[in-house]
Amino acid sequence: MKTFLATILTLVGSLLLHAETARVAILGDSITYGGRWPTLVESALRSTPSFADAVIVNFGLSSETVSGLSENGHAGGKFPRPCLHERLERILQEFKPTHVLACYGMNDGIYLPLDDTRQKAFQDGMLRLKEAVEKRGGNFVAITAPLHDADHPSQDPQRYDAVLDAQATWLLAQKGWQVIDIRPDLRTAIAEAKQKNPGFVFAGDKVHPGPQGHDFIAASIVKQLWPLWKLPGAPVMAEGQALNILSQRNALLKHAWLTKTRHIRPGVPAGLPMPEAEEQAAKLLLDYKKTLTPQTIK
């Protein structure tokens, strides 16, 4: 009986310890690496008790796919597109995320029309990603890719955005998956923005959204994440000085963790050693919290 009780107490203690600090890994390509939407989502999460002191790191990596595909002559022939699965186990082993938000797809069709082989490579990559995260006890959320060439919408079946539509349809059809589909909200937000300002541009290069586009992405994600994770209240995202401080922290930890987990993409700035990065990040988090707390005037 004592052995049974001891086992139960050990399990309960382990669960409580695991629940003490959430660890959120945000995975994705250059749109994620850009940092604005992940920082906005982080700020919303930090407004809740369970994520106020969470370890939240942006692991986005430019050019990356989950499919392992790469077009001929990518980056002028300098290097093929990196694949998440080359570094995924190192991220899971060293960061030990309790939660993973993953936004892939934009690069996975390598900017060619819809094709069954390429589509299956994306699907297999997402299946492997979900399985790897859940095998280690993490909560996995898939986020659909943003829109391609959203400023010039087309119904041409050969358009690249049709590939991203097909990816989203497949993700939403997976039973038991947590999926956030940002694409409908983006279409609505972009149409409204263009109605107010006909000169509004979502993504000048057809792929990478500007700051307001990132705001649209973050707004869609938090709107859907709150009921998914049963978070309290309404999501509130930082702005002004608070957002600037959190953005600095996001970039600091992003490069430190990308370096620590040994990504292989050329051209990414090296991060600080983890002890130094974490010390600076702790100070920035305190500064961030001060901007959210009214100071008593004596």
* Cα separation, 135 vs 37, whole angstroms: 27
As a whole number, mean pLDDT of residues 45-62 equals 97
How high is the pLDDT of residue 85? 98
Percentage with pLDDT > 90 across the chain? 90
Q: Is the pLDDT of residue 258 over 70?
A: yes
272-280 — which CB contacts under 8 Å span 24+ positions?
A: 277/252, 277/253, 278/253, 280/252
The structural domains of the chain, with segments of one domain joined by +, span 21-290
Could you give the C-alpha distances from 34 to 115, 201, 268, 280, in angstroms and in order?
Answer: 28, 17, 12, 20
Q: Look up the CATH number of domain 21-290.
A: 3.40.50.1110
Whether 1 has a pLDDT exceeding 70, the answer reads no
Structure tokens, 44: 């919303």
Please report, to the nearest 10 degrees, the dihedral formed by the alpha carbons of residues 91, 93, 99, 100 taken in order: 30
> Taking 60 as the threshold, does the pLDDT of residue 295 lie above it?
no
What's the rounded Cα separation, in Å, for the pair 171 and 282? Answer: 36
Q: What is the pLDDT of residue 243?
A: 97
Mean pLDDT of the chain: 92
Please tell me the distance from the alpha carbon of residue 256 to that of residue 275, in angstroms, as a whole number: 10
| Max intra-chain CA distance, the chain | 73
With vertex at residue 87, the alpha carbon angle to CA 86 and CA 92, rounded to the nearest 5 degrees, is 135
Q: Say if residues 206 and 148 touch (Cβ distance below 8 Å).
A: yes
Q: Please check the confidence at residue 9 and state whether its pLDDT lies above 70.
A: no
Give the tokens for residue 95.
């960061």
Contact 101, 54 (CB under 8 A): no
Segment 262-291 mean pLDDT: 97
Question: What confidence score (pLDDT) does residue 5 get?
Answer: 47
SS (H, E, C) 159-202: CCHHHHHHHHHHHHHCCCCEEECCHHHHHHHHHHHHHHCCCCCC
Chain mean position to CA 97: 13
Q: Which residues contact 158 (CB under 8 A, 6 or more apart)?
A: 113, 114
Residue-wise pLDDT tens digits, 203-253: 999 999 999 999 999 999 999 999 999 999 999 999 999 999 999 999 999
Torsion of CA 160, 122, 252, 263, to 10 degrees: -120
Q: Would the pLDDT of 14 be above 60?
A: no
178-180: strand order across its sheet: 55-58, 23-28, 99-103, 139-143, 178-180
The residue among 151, 215, 226 whose CA lies nearest residue 185 is 215
Q: Between 36 and 6, whose confidence is greater?
A: 36
pLDDT attached to residue 267: 96
Asked whether residue 76 carries a pLDDT value surpassing 90, the answer given is yes
What b/e string do you get for 233-254 counting C-beta neighbours within 10 Å, with b at 16 or more?
A: eebebbeeebbebbbbbbbbbb
Residue 92 has pLDDT above 90, yes or no: yes
**Over the stretch 212-224, which tens digit does the pLDDT of each residue have?**
999 999 999 999 9
pLDDT on residue 294: 52
Of 25 and 294, the one with more pLDDT: 25
Q: How many residues does the chain have?
A: 298
pLDDT at site 292:
87
Rounded average pLDDT over 123-139? 98
Q: Is the pLDDT of residue 132 over 80?
A: yes
Q: What is the pLDDT of residue 297?
A: 29
Q: In terms of Cα–Cα distance, which of 141, 106, 123, 140 is closest to 34?
A: 106
Global pTM reads: 0.91
Query: What sections of the chain are H helices per DSSP?
Result: 2-20, 30-33, 36-45, 84-95, 116-135, 161-173, 183-196, 211-229, 240-260, 274-292
Summarize the confidence of residues 29-40 as an average pLDDT.
Answer: 98
